[in-house]
């Protein structure tokens, strides 16, 4: 029976030769994770189950990243719940402040997710790991509790939508632009409970950081998961870091899809999503000149090394626009350290930007950049819902790092070509 890569991974994890869309399955998980917002609820449910121990102390990752370093007493109590549970069950994958990073950047970096894995996380952007050719999806905290106890999760096999990006991408265009463009075409519910499989020549040449950015935002189209079949770029990324042997799978040539969408990558411009939905995507030129109060470069979507590299290249020797706040947040300690070694953090600070320790921070309106009423922020984050970054009368506009860095220099939304 012909199958998509998503179907093959799910079949392998529930002990079947094949599955089809609509099947309900109980699947074994390779890794499950929670953060300082979702894991405390899961821990309470785990204890309510009466479970004496976790299914595998090496397969549960707890990462305090949303409100850390703790911003107040409540967030400190949330983080303490993770710390205490990790100590009680001797968890191997608890990452304290100073070692941790934004979870969806940290786990791939650490080699804790590999091709062919089935990963669940009590965070909607767990779909990020599909960039490695894994099935990964967000679940509720109660599902996480059950998985921590049993090592299994129940799922309905999703239909798959195929997105083919033909040709070569333009300068300044990356994975963030591809996914914003896609969501703009199909809408925030266009892939509701479906797998989003990305392929084509433009994807084949896309670096891993950009692939992670694309799959990260599959949930913003309602997707159950985003996925890119493993290839040479995947193998190079996993070499030397993978903690388990990757399992390389691919969709069969005659696999059945819900629908196939083809885009000319060469016609896609750098994108900006206007408030208050990621689907409000426009070419940067259509919104150029929009005045800003803040720019944020970071998050699980665009806080990786290549994101900081392009931002530093644009901002080098220049100054942040007068009256504008610019916040740069490397996604992990390793990224922070490497950016420091390469002199990029110095570039940001000399330009007049604030550089933060790894944290989700302002992305979810947590801390480190909350917006007041009437303020407008251009961010490399993944959501721009009403009140997402602060006051309900503030605005979040989404873009990739190149547009964000260029805009940081002018104080208005700007195409990178205008400053380079």
Mean pLDDT of all residues in the chain? 97
Name every residue whose Cβ is closer than 8 Å to that of residue 250 and which is 6 or more positions away in sequence.
5, 229, 230
Share of the chain above pLDDT 90, in %: 99
Please compute the mean of the pLDDT values over residues 254-277 and round it to a whole number.
97
List, in sequence order, every residue forming a beta bridge with 297; answer none if it has no partner.
Answer: 328
Do 253 and 286 have their domain in common? no
Q: How far is CA 18 from the centre of its chain?
A: 29
Structural element, H or E, at residue 294: strand 294-297
Note the pLDDT tens digit of each residue in 374-385. 999 999 999 999
Strand pairing of 60-63 and 31-35? parallel
**Does residue 276 share a domain with residue 258?**
no
Domain end marker among 263, 289, 316: 263
Tokens encoding 307: 């994101």
Note whether 13 and 128 are same-domain residues: yes
Choose one of 236, 263, 290: the last residue of a domain.
Answer: 263
What integer is the mean pLDDT of 76-88?
A: 97
Same domain, residue pair 247 and 390: no
Q: Do 222 and 328 have their domain in common?
A: no
- Cα distances from 111 to residues 99, 106, 226, 277, in angstroms, run 15, 9, 19, 33
Mean pLDDT to the nearest integer, 146-162: 97
Mark whether 68 and 127 lie in a shared domain: yes
| Residue 406 Cα distances to 67, 247, 368, angstroms | 28, 40, 21
CA 248 to the chain's CA centroid: 22
CATH classification of the domain holding 324: 3.30.499.10
pLDDT for the residue 109: 97
* CA pair distance 189, 227, nearest whole angstrom: 17
Which pLDDT tens digit goes with each residue over 309-324?
Answer: 999 999 999 999 999 9
DSSP result, 60-118: EEEE--SSTTT-SHHHHHHHHHHHHHHHHTT-SEE--TTT-B-HHHHHHHTT-S-TT-E
Same domain for 402 and 319? yes
Mean pLDDT within 163-176: 97
For the record, the structure tokens of 21 come out as 């869309």
Q: Give the span between the Cα atoms of 152 and 13, in whole angstroms.
A: 9
Residues 19 and 105 in one domain: yes
What tens digit of pLDDT does each residue of 280-303 get?
999 999 999 999 999 999 999 999
The per-residue pLDDT for range 17-50, each reduced to its tens digit, is 999 999 999 999 999 999 999 999 999 999 999 9
Residue 279 and residue 237 share a domain = no
Question: Does position 1 have pLDDT exceeding 90, yes or no?
Answer: no
Which residue in the block uniquely carries the two structure tokens 């998509």? Answer: 4
On whether the CB atoms of residues 69 and 333 are closer than 8 A, the answer is: no
Is residue 259 located within the same domain as residue 275? no
Cβ atoms 101, 332 nearer than 8 A: yes
Q: Which of 212, 246, 263 is the last residue of a domain?
A: 263
| Contact in structure between 202 and 173 (CB atoms under 8 Å) | no
At 162 the pLDDT is: 98
Tokens 């950015």 locate to: 213
Q: Residue 173: give the domain boundaries.
A: 5-263
Handedness of CA 330, 336, 339, 344 (dihedral sign): positive
Whether residue 154 is found in the same domain as residue 282: no
| Residues 89 and 53: beta-carbon distance below 8 Å | yes
- If one counts the domains in the chain, the total is 2
C-alpha dihedral, 244 to 79 to 88 to 108, nearest 10°: 0
* Residue 354 pLDDT: 98
Residue 231 and residue 155: Cα distance in Å, rounded? Answer: 27
Q: Do 171 and 298 share a domain, yes or no?
A: no
Chain centroid offset of residue 42 CA: 21
């Amino acid at each position: 029976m012909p199958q998509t890569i998503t179907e093959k991974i799910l079949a392998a994890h529930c002990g079947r030769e094949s599955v089809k869309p609509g099947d309900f399955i109980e699947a074994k998980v390779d890794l499950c994770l929670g953060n300082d917002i979702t894991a405390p609820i899961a821990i309470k449910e785990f204890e309510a189950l009466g479970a004496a121990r976790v299914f595998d102390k090496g397969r549960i990752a707890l990462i305090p990243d949303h409100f850390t370093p703790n911003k107040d007493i409540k967030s400190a109590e949330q983080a303490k719940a993770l710390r205490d549970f990790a100590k009680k069950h001797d968890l191997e994958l608890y990452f304290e402040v100073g070692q941790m990073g934004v979870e969806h950047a940290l786990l791939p970096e650490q080699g804790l997710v590999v091709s062919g894995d089935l990963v669940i996380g009590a965070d909607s952007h767990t779909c990020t790991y599909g960039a490695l050719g894994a099935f990964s999806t967000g679940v509720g905290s109660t599902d996480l509790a059950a998985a921590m106890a049993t090592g299994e999760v129940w799922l309905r096999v999703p239909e798959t939508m195929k997105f083919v990006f033909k040709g070569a991408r333009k300068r300044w265009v990356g994975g963030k632009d591809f996914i914003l463009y896609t969501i703009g075409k199909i809408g925030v519910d266009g892939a509701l409970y479906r797998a989003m499989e990305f392929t084509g020549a433009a994807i084949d040449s896309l670096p891993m950081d950009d692939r992670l950015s694309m799959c990260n935002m599959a949930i913003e189209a309602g997707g159950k998961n985003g996925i890119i079949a493993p290839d040479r770029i995947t193998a190079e990324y996993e070499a030397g870091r993978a903690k388990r042997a990757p399992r390389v799978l691919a969709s069969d040539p005659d696999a059945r899809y819900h629908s196939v969408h083809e885009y000319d990558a060469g016609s896609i411009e750098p994108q900006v999503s206007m408030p208050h939905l990621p689907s409000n995507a426009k070419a940067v030129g259509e919104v150029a000149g929009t005045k800003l109060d803040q720019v944020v470069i970071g998050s699980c979507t665009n806080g990786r090394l290549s994101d900081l590299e392009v931002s530093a290249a644009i901002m080098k020797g220049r100054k942040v626009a007068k009256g504008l706040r610019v916040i740069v947040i490397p996604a992990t300690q390793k990224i922070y350290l490497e950016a420091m070694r390469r002199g990029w953090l110095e570039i940001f600070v000399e330009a007049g930007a604030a550089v933060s320790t790894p944290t989700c921070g302002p992305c979810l309106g947590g801390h480190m950049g909350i917006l007041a009423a009437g303020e407008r922020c251009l961010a490399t984050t993944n959501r721009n819902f009403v009140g997402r970054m602060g006051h309900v009368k503030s605005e979040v506009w989404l873009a990739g790092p190149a547009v964000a860095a260029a805009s940081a220099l002018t104080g208005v939304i700007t195409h990178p070509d205008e400053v380079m």
